[in-house]
Structure 1
Amino acid sequence: MHRTRTAAATAFALALAAIPLTGLAGPPAAAATVGPARAPDRPAAATPLSPTPRSVQTRSDRVTVTPSVTVVADPKADAPALALVEKSLKAAGAERIVRSARAAAGRQLTVYVDGSGAARELKRLGARGTDGLPAEGYALAVGDGRIALAGKDATGTYYAAQSLRQLLPHRDRPGARIQGTAVRDWPATPLRGVIEGFYGTPWSHQARLDQLDFYGEHKMNIYVYSPKDDAYLRAKWRDAYPADRLAQLKELVDRARARHVEFTYALSPGLSVCYSSDADVAALTAKFQTLWDIGVRTFAVPLDDISYTNWNCAADKDRFGTGGGAAGAAQAHLLNRVNQEFIAKHPGAEPLQTVPTEYYDVQPSPYKQALSTQLDKNVLVEWTGVGVVAPTMSVAEAQRAREVFGHPILTWDNYPVNDYATDRLLLGPFNGREKGLPGQLAGITANPMIQPAASKIALHTVADYAWNDQAYDARASWGAAIDELAGGDARTARALRAFADANYYSVLNPRQSPELATAVDAFGKDGDTRRLDAALRTVQDAPAVLRDRLADRGFVQDSGPWLDATHAWGTAARTALKLIEATRAGDDAKAWQLRQRIPELVRAARSFVYVDLNGKKVPVRVADGVLDTFIEGALAAHDAALGVTGRPTASTDLAAYQDNTVSRMTDGDDASYFWSGAAPKAGSYVALDLHTERPLGRITLAMGKSGSPDDYLHHGVLEYSADATHWRQLAAFDDTAEITVDLSADTGARYVRARATQAQDNWLAVREFTVAGSDTVTGGPPAAAGSALGAAADGDPATAYRAARAAQSGESLEFTPATPRTARSVVVLRPQGAPPKAARVQVRTAGTWRTLGTLSGAYTRLATGGGTVEGVRLAWRTGTAAPEVNEVILH
């Protein structure tokens, strides 16, 4: 919801402290009484129930599921609750369920549901009944051969049945024994649920039905139907639904009612409505009537993501004027008419809801003032917190929102929605919401991901927080969500946890892959390769395990490209770990063999895409900043062992647009590019870290790209530095997209940057930013297109000189360092499978060439015999197939 679709949300660097579990102080009338048969209260976090109840107490006795179970139910007991009780008993091993007005004789298990029987048995078990509980509260007791449950209302009874479902085991025969337990529970806020309000591919009908089942199981009581790409909600809001679509909506409404979830229909007319038009009010209420007729009782009129400075009709300008205050007055006028002419005239309708156009802050404004003073006071106002995707939300902010809007506040929390970040699954927990917040609100609704089944992990944690924020622990709830989705299977849970950890990052959870990152950090300290390899193998294998064992096939389908990418990144990272092992062991040939595999493995990992509603292919991200960084570190360690600097590291102070990251300007591919997500300001820069101070040769900065030729620094300077603090100018440039500067051998630096000297309107695209050293490579055969002789000695083993043809008689490739170097050996790196004896390796010392030996394969190391080396020559054997050389190294 509520954002431009082209800009990624800013990640906030928040240190989210762990929130300790504290005692739960309920309303005085709801205080628990400890009976003589009970043990002391268990800590809420230890109970298997989710959401965590307000009070859970264990008893010293147990109840056995007998072959036949009698259910004694009040005549007015909630039918869905009774059906759930009986289904749960059968799943626990009961063979026969008998409805009766009284308990069965003997030792047969009896379950009491609501009414005087349940109240009596709760008291006999030492548990308090429902007196004093708020709406949707319940009491449940298990012990002494009986089970009793009762709700403050029908929904409370249904929630008691849901808790009983969790307490009962899954068995295929009678005889299971259940620990004696007493639960007294109620919600922290009246409304708790989900708003399907994202841009992108709407959920399928079957996915929505599945979601409604999930909400009921987690004591969520509201579902807001507001998919942005349902044309009948927005662009075609005046039009009636086709019969088949209306029939599907009715099925959703009926399923919601059966799960005690309020189906809310949210119509968004703001793109074309004329606020002062009687005809549009009539069209809006007529549309609502068609939904009323199929059972909808809760309605919303969102007015978000629209312009409130441009009227849709001249009559509105004439009536309300212009500006934010006029827009607020016009919207209040429309909403009041709907409230008075439809909601008030339909007994049983719930309060009208709206999303204001200013929904994302608590700053006073003429618009908010108009809504506050003119909108009917019983209308619920939805608010996203401070920010479209609020990293945190506090009690003080909610209180301020209530003051500024002047109405009850229902949060539209934009987590775990990913329509602004379609390259990610957001599988971390609900986080950054202060304890006490639900008590300030009319309710909490969460906007989920485009992927419905994959949203369940985060939505589980939302449900936990909204029901009992005082007991909420984000990490514990996250773990419980994973265990539940895994169906109690330990291997599946381990794989799902690794996959969710690899897709943990969000604005609310700014640390990506916390468990995997911890393992990588530990390896950096203790060097224990076996332990890290075990963690990486779990990541690598997780996708196959989930595809094979996870019962929720929707989750597997939703996560397809991310599962593929996770396996690929795990494979690449394990190969990088093997590279580290080989490098440490001094097995140079094996290390080089492994090194050559990694670029293709990384390319494969980056190749998986999510295809959006419009057919756009979006490369997905998995464990970014953790696995890719680990692999880069392994390559850097190998470079250091070889004695080369490796590829320069690029950086910038500009945000990248989508996946056009800054590393693309050093990848050696002119077709890829770094692309900023905003126009450079004066002082904006792109920079290279060469890893060591060295002579600078040719510097090339290639900016602009096909389709955006003007996206370059129009006014800037090239600068260099030894310490990234003190900079000296190399050259100034104006209105040129491609810059080349050749420097003398005595100009040295570690850092080079291009800095804007003026602000501009165009964004910045950099195809390649390169710094060639002053070492030289000459000879032949000539390089093939897209290659260069210099790649054979550019300090980067990932690049290669590739000849355009086979070697001819007398041809050689000659490397001359800028200054003679003392070296013990010459190392020549070539692609795997390169033929041996393709060239004689010669060195020049004291002006004389001498032969050290011949190339032996992909990895060749030959001792120089000591001394200062002035040059290295590869004298090709005549007819050698087009030679390739990754790097010639003096070591």
Structure 2
Amino acid sequence: MRVRGNSQGDIRRDKPRSARAAGAAGATAMVAAVIGGLLGPVPGAVATPAPGGGDAGRATGATKSAETPESAASGLPSVWPRPQSMRAAGASLAVTDEVTLVADADTDPHALEVLRSVLRAAGARTVTDASPGAPSPPRGLVVYVGGRGADEALRALRAPARGDLPSGGYRLATGVVNGRGTLALDGVGPDGLFHAAQTLRQLVIDRDGQPAGHRELPGVSVRDWPATPARGLTEGFYGRPWTHRERLDQLDFLGRTKQNRYLYAPEEDTFRQARWRDPYPAEQRAEFRALSERARRNHVTLGWAVAPGQDLCFSSDEDVRALKRKVDAMWALGVRSFQLQFQDVSYSEWHCDADADAFGSGPEAAAKAQATVTNALAAHLAERHPGAQALSLLPTEYFQKGATEFRAALAGALDPQIEVAWTGVGVVPKTITGREMAEARTAFRHPLVTMDNYPINDYAQDRIFLGPYSGRDPAVASGSAALLANAMKQPTASRIPLFTTADFAWNPKRYRPQESWQAAIDDLAGDDARTRAAMRAFAGNDASSLLGGWGQDPAQTVPESAYLRPLLDEFWAARKAAAQDGGHALAPRGGSSGATGANRGGDGGSATGASGTGDGTGTSGGDGTGTGTGTGTGTGTMSRPGERRFARAAERLRVEFRTLRDAPKLLGDTFDGEVTPWLEQLGRYGAAGERAVAALTAQGRGDGATAWRAQRELRTLRAQSAASPATVGKGVLPDFLTRAITESDAWWGLDAAGGKERAKTLTPDEGAEQASDGDPMTAFWPSAPGAAGAPEGSSGGDSGSDPGGGTSLADPVTVAFGDRRPLSAVTVLTQAATGKDAKRPTGAIGTVEARVPGHGWRRLGELSASGWTQAPGKGVHADAVRLRWAAGVRPPAVQEITPWFADGPVAELRVSRTEADAEIGGPPARVTVSLVGRRPGDVRGDLTVRTKDGLKVTAPSQITAPRGGTATAEVEVSVPAGTKPGSYRLPIRFGSQETTLTVRAYPRTGGPDLARDARATSSADETKDFPASAAIDEDPATRWSSPADDDAWWQLELAGPTRLGRLDLHWQDAHAARYRIQVSSNGRTWRTAATVRDSAGGRETVRMDAPGTRFVRVQGQERATRFGYSLRSVRVYAVAPGTTKTPGAASVPAATQTPAEATDGGQPRIRSTPDPAGTAAPAETSPAPSAAG
């Protein structure tokens, strides 16, 4: 099958081939929670055999299986696929040295082979075969396999009766019969016993007290059956087909997981497409024979699909005979199931003129032509090969929805025994619902083969899809004649998702995606704990796909790296908490002396603890603000809660990143090279993540040298990751690295948010621009004036090579400011010195100097060979800084010179929005206040919010912004009951900075949803499938959608006039960026009650006070996407009775009604146009670090 894109951004598998062709224990415990929140599919009807002893006539109903307690088999091993019924039954049995196997002569030999293997692995030294009724050895475990002996033993063990078990079903029980340990297995159909043997393989357990090499069988009773008759995979992707060895291994996997169908349909096999008339070469014919033999051993039916496409004359008897001959040849090679594929057949173009004469043109003609050939082949199979499985047809319309002309014609012309294949609605649908399944069965009127295009990845060749099967109703399994998953080009990796499809197809009602997925991962990884942890990390960072089924919304896709997200979130939160409680030494801590007033100018050094000694100087401003610099050293322990929390979070993350780093080494043999790009990418992300954590934690303790070394390595690894064609951890791992670098850069002062002033105020020497461009990936080589170093990781890396090759005294590197300005500190980043220069003491390679007009150059500090230097400003007013090299030094590349100035604001006060809506007597409005540090040290001060008119404000009394970072605090404003509706202005102040928050108090709303009894209309509906009424039908699967028109609208006519107070809107992805809420008493004259200027979509609440409203309209102004507007639901609420009327409510200007309050996942948020940020003057700053690495 093929993929293309349509105008709606969906994926379609159709004609253009190019669209797909191009297209340690702690660690184990942590990773074990991978995607623990994944929910199962929406329940649906599943045909369940009646319990043993029940009326077989009830088997077709959705009978509740009382024998399937949710692992009421407590203490029993897990069995996959999950059995329909498994319960504990008595004590466990030891597998003795001698075991007697009682079976009829015609018992399935492949099931017996599995049983013998399991028993020997469990400790049996001798397995003796015995015929039913024949004398058996007087001691040891006895195993009854099928026949009368098994039935009698199962009855004696009080196992459930056979009842109406379908083909493939089985019963298994253990216990003591006549004083002997007994195991009994019985199956239905040709593969029932084989399935029982596969279950037994998973039930063997280790027990203390048993001799070495001996294991036990738990006391257990199992009655089990498959919900889907045919379950398996399709090899149907573009690209290099699987090798013969890979196919053999895949057949063994199918047997172990109780799957019974393998459809051979690789898109690159010309002998089933363009050369379908030709026989396969001898070598491939031999491979097919070997495949068929392996398939028989695993009770798998080998299928073969032929796609004659446009190279077939449907009306030609000769072509039909050629098709029959090819099928006969494949039958001789062991193929027992066939599929005709016509997905590429045109409705209007025929391969021969005779077809146009015989069938005509159009969808109905194409359907009749396909039915004619398919019927002929089905009749041939029935006559010549009566043992063949039902022929299946993949028609041209295999992914459309519901009834069509083509499907109606096909259903009427096709032989009733032929099965029809489909993929669900869409080529790779997010969900397949029971309703869609029923509609497809009604449209085709034939048994359905669901060929689900997951985990196939040929349309997204940068991805591998290792997540669980999800988003499919149980009815998809129970209602399909066959359920086949289209595998990836990577056969071993495919087994993770294919394991879960096997579990779903066997027992959809009890399918739990996350549990099945964990089992799949562990099954592939084996028993080694480190390998399992690596496999879980690999799958967890390649889990997302187009499939839905996450959370309560079936259309929500599985999030990538779900197990890592909480750890990453906690890391950032803990880092913030460490800074906020003063325990996170974002400026190095040491002793304190020389400070006055609020100033802490003597803090400094590279301390790792909370105590120390040092010296320093500082100044204090008259208003309580102050800045300072100093030097010092110190040691101590982490005593503050925030610091301890951050250390714990960082260590947890290190463990996970180490697992990622080691994954290529641990998993390489398992995958044998098939996923090398993705494993290598995962390893790079792991190593980079380790370096990111190292850099940020080092900065947290003021160790700039360690942080700079880690960041250089991090940047190199990130650059390598960006160059890789493999996508791993999409939206999580690369985003974490980007944020880590951004926050680390702010600590160096490399971004504007951290206080670095850019090129308009910094003027480097000619040719030395890269030394002050804010990008540490560029560099200036002092020994080669005017030459820029290459990015790190190339020849300009830490190798010490010098493009200029010079050895003489290098010229200083100077950066001028233009004007005379007070210096707070200077940060210098260079590549680490190498060779003999690396062994020089601090200061021996050069100095940092400042030019004071009229006084010349003044020494600020010494350059460190480590690559990181921070020199105090010493209160000088300079117009330039420079690096002066010591004699005989081979200067390293200079990557950044950052002066920190003392004449600008030491911090900047910002608010997330300047306007907020609050319900009178309701929950508080929340606003985020941010403080952006502008100094090479922490900034601390009091936050005050002045209130009046009875409004209640909750806010922290102090806020601390870390060096180069941003501190945030929540301000909550509550409007007490009885407060007059209107707007209230609340000044927010930090130091000398002030901004104003306007709180709009709205009346309380309540009562029923008025939309329930309203009539919905619109300016236009996109199609009849998306009517205006869909936004109020309370069905989450439906929605209103407009044409692509900015001025489109949707409206309600309420049952009667009301004082309108609130609208709750739930947008689909195609939402409005700007819109108005308009109201009317008569439907002719409209006024604007509220305006939303920057909607983010999702769930939004819009408040107003609009009395006399009979009509309410959502009037679009600007679309957020190229599609129209689309609303999933709208709810309307009136102002609560007895609420004071807002003065002038009938004519409140629209501008005062914005923005809309929104919610996302139940958490309130506000979308509004942000105010320009002002400057801030906080009350106190901690010192700039003055260590030289």
Q: How far apart in 2 are the matches of 1:360 and 1:112?
A: 48
Q: How far apart in 1 are the matches of 2:568 and 2:892?
A: 39
- Determine if the alignment matches structure 1 residue 43 to structure 2 residue 72: yes
Residue from 123, 135, 154 that aligns with 1:122: 154
> Corresponding residue for 2:972?
none
* Aligned-partner residue type, residue 452 of structure 2: D
Q: Is the 8 A contact 1:32 1:128 kept in 2?
A: no
- Determine if the alignment matches structure 1 residue 777 to structure 2 residue 756: no
Helix, strand or coil at the partner of 1:419: coil
- Determine if the alignment matches structure 1 residue 794 to structure 2 residue 773: yes
CA shift, 1:510, in A, is: 3.5
> Corresponding residue for 1:833?
833
Range with bigger deviation, 832-841 or 309-318: 832-841
Q: How far apart in 1 are the matches of 2:755 and 2:824?
A: 22
Q: Is the 8 A contact 1:94 1:173 kept in 2?
A: no
Helix, strand or coil at the partner of 1:558: coil
- Determine if the alignment matches structure 1 residue 534 to structure 2 residue 655: yes
> Corresponding residue for 1:665?
none
Relative distance call for 1:876 and 1:379 in structure 2 (3 A) is same
Residue from 39, 52, 58 that aligns with 1:17: 39
* Aligned-partner residue type, residue 80 of structure 1: H
Helix, strand or coil at the partner of 2:308: coil
- Determine if the alignment matches structure 1 residue 645 to structure 2 residue 757: no
> Corresponding residue for 2:537?
498
* Aligned-partner residue type, residue 519 of structure 1: L
Residue from 524, 528, 550 that aligns with 1:489: 528
> Corresponding residue for 2:476?
437
Q: How far apart in 2 are the matches of 1:833 and 1:882?
A: 7
The correspondence of residues 467-482 of structure 1 with structure 2, limited to 5 A, is: 467-482=506-521
> Corresponding residue for 2:824?
824
* Aligned-partner residue type, residue 850 of structure 2: V
- Determine if the alignment matches structure 1 residue 370 to structure 2 residue 418: no
Long gaps (5+) in structure 1: 548-552, 609-618, 647-690, 696-771, 783-788
> Corresponding residue for 1:515?
563
Helix, strand or coil at the partner of 1:71: strand
> Corresponding residue for 1:98?
128
1:182-204 deviation per Cα after TM superposition (whole angstroms, max 9, x unaligned): 10001111111011111111111
1:694-746 deviation per Cα after TM superposition (whole angstroms, max 9, x unaligned): 99xxxxxxxxxxxxxxxxxxxxxxxxxxxxxxxxxxxxxxxxxxxxxxxxxxx
Q: Is the 8 A contact 2:20 2:458 kept in 1?
A: no
Q: Is the 8 A contact 2:234 2:263 kept in 1?
A: yes
Relative distance call for 1:554 and 1:864 in structure 2 (3 A) is closer
CA shift, 1:874, in A, is: 4.3
Q: How far apart in 2 are the matches of 1:557 and 1:813?
A: 49
Q: Is the 8 A contact 1:39 1:60 kept in 2?
A: no
Helix, strand or coil at the partner of 2:527: coil
Range with bigger deviation, 180-189 or 555-564: 555-564
- Determine if the alignment matches structure 1 residue 621 to structure 2 residue 727: yes
Q: Is the 8 A contact 1:776 1:790 kept in 2?
A: no
Q: Is the 8 A contact 1:807 1:882 kept in 2?
A: no
Helix, strand or coil at the partner of 1:638: helix
* Aligned-partner residue type, residue 779 of structure 1: D
Q: How far apart in 1 are the matches of 2:481 and 2:688?
A: 48
Relative distance call for 1:820 and 1:257 in structure 2 (3 A) is farther
The number of equivalent residue pairs is 742
Q: How far apart in 1 are the matches of 2:678 and 2:145?
A: 45
CA shift, 1:414, in A, is: 1.2
1:305-353 deviation per Cα after TM superposition (whole angstroms, max 9, x unaligned): 4554433223323333333333222222221222223445431221111
- Determine if the alignment matches structure 1 residue 579 to structure 2 residue 695: yes
1:68-88 deviation per Cα after TM superposition (whole angstroms, max 9, x unaligned): 211211333222112222222
- Determine if the alignment matches structure 1 residue 254 to structure 2 residue 261: no
Q: Is the 8 A contact 1:606 1:620 kept in 2?
A: no
- Determine if the alignment matches structure 1 residue 595 to structure 2 residue 708: no
Q: How far apart in 1 are the matches of 2:754 and 2:487?
A: 47
1:534-559 deviation per Cα after TM superposition (whole angstroms, max 9, x unaligned): 12112222332334xxxxx4524323
Relative distance call for 1:62 and 1:773 in structure 2 (3 A) is same
Residue from 201, 224, 227 that aligns with 1:185: 224
Q: How far apart in 1 are the matches of 2:426 and 2:344?
A: 14
> Corresponding residue for 2:894?
885
> Corresponding residue for 1:200?
239
CA shift, 1:257, in A, is: 1.6
CA shift, 1:119, in A, is: 0.9
> Corresponding residue for 2:203?
167
Relative distance call for 1:383 and 1:23 in structure 2 (3 A) is closer
Q: Is the 8 A contact 2:205 2:218 kept in 1?
A: no
Q: How far apart in 2 are the matches of 1:385 and 1:238?
A: 31
> Corresponding residue for 1:109?
141
The correspondence of residues 234-245 of structure 1 with structure 2, limited to 5 A, is: 234-245=273-284
> Corresponding residue for 2:29?
none
1:674-697 deviation per Cα after TM superposition (whole angstroms, max 9, x unaligned): xxxxxxxxxxxxxxxxx69999xx
- Determine if the alignment matches structure 1 residue 147 to structure 2 residue 183: yes
> Corresponding residue for 1:753?
none
Q: Is the 8 A contact 2:747 2:754 kept in 1?
A: no
Long gaps (5+) in structure 2: 5-16, 24-34, 56-66, 548-556, 575-645, 788-803, 838-842, 901-1189
Residue from 26, 41, 50 that aligns with 1:28: 50
Q: Is the 8 A contact 1:356 1:381 kept in 2?
A: yes
Residue from 282, 285, 288 that aligns with 2:321: 282
> Corresponding residue for 1:864?
873
Q: How far apart in 2 are the matches of 1:503 and 1:32?
A: 45
CA shift, 1:507, in A, is: 1.8
Q: Is the 8 A contact 1:499 1:543 kept in 2?
A: no
Q: How far apart in 1 are the matches of 2:496 and 2:294?
A: 22
Q: How far apart in 2 are the matches of 1:525 and 1:8?
A: 42
Relative distance call for 1:883 and 1:292 in structure 2 (3 A) is closer
> Corresponding residue for 1:421?
460
Q: Is the 8 A contact 2:239 2:458 kept in 1?
A: yes
Relative distance call for 1:31 and 1:605 in structure 2 (3 A) is farther
CA shift, 1:407, in A, is: 2.0
* Aligned-partner residue type, residue 112 of structure 1: Y
> Corresponding residue for 2:614?
none
Q: How far apart in 1 are the matches of 2:18 and 2:559?
A: 23
Q: How far apart in 1 are the matches of 2:69 and 2:426?
A: 44
Range with bigger deviation, 789-798 or 175-184: 789-798
CA RMSD, 1 decimal? 3.3
CA shift, 1:161, in A, is: 1.5
Range with bigger deviation, 875-884 or 189-198: 875-884
Relative distance call for 1:401 and 1:874 in structure 2 (3 A) is same
Q: How far apart in 1 are the matches of 2:273 and 2:476?
A: 32
Helix, strand or coil at the partner of 1:567: helix
Q: Is the 8 A contact 2:750 2:756 kept in 1?
A: no
Helix, strand or coil at the partner of 1:70: strand
Q: TM-score, normalised by structure 2?
A: 0.59
- Determine if the alignment matches structure 1 residue 67 to structure 2 residue 67: no
Q: Is the 8 A contact 1:826 1:889 kept in 2?
A: yes
Helix, strand or coil at the partner of 1:331: helix
Q: Is the 8 A contact 1:95 1:174 kept in 2?
A: no
Q: TM-score, normalised by structure 1?
A: 0.77
Q: Is the 8 A contact 1:21 1:473 kept in 2?
A: no
Residue from 338, 348, 369 that aligns with 2:387: 348
Helix, strand or coil at the partner of 1:107: coil
CA shift, 1:224, in A, is: 0.4
Relative distance call for 1:20 and 1:391 in structure 2 (3 A) is closer
- Determine if the alignment matches structure 1 residue 462 to structure 2 residue 583: no
Kindly indicate which of the two structures has a greater share of residues assigned to helix: 1
Q: Is the 8 A contact 2:455 2:487 kept in 1?
A: yes
Q: What percent of counterpart residues are identical?
A: 38
Q: How far apart in 1 are the matches of 2:138 and 2:884?
A: 99
* Aligned-partner residue type, residue 665 of structure 2: A
Residue from 840, 843, 849 that aligns with 2:850: 843
Helix, strand or coil at the partner of 2:682: helix
Q: How far apart in 2 are the matches of 1:818 and 1:332?
A: 84
> Corresponding residue for 2:1129?
none
1:365-389 deviation per Cα after TM superposition (whole angstroms, max 9, x unaligned): 3332332222222221111122221
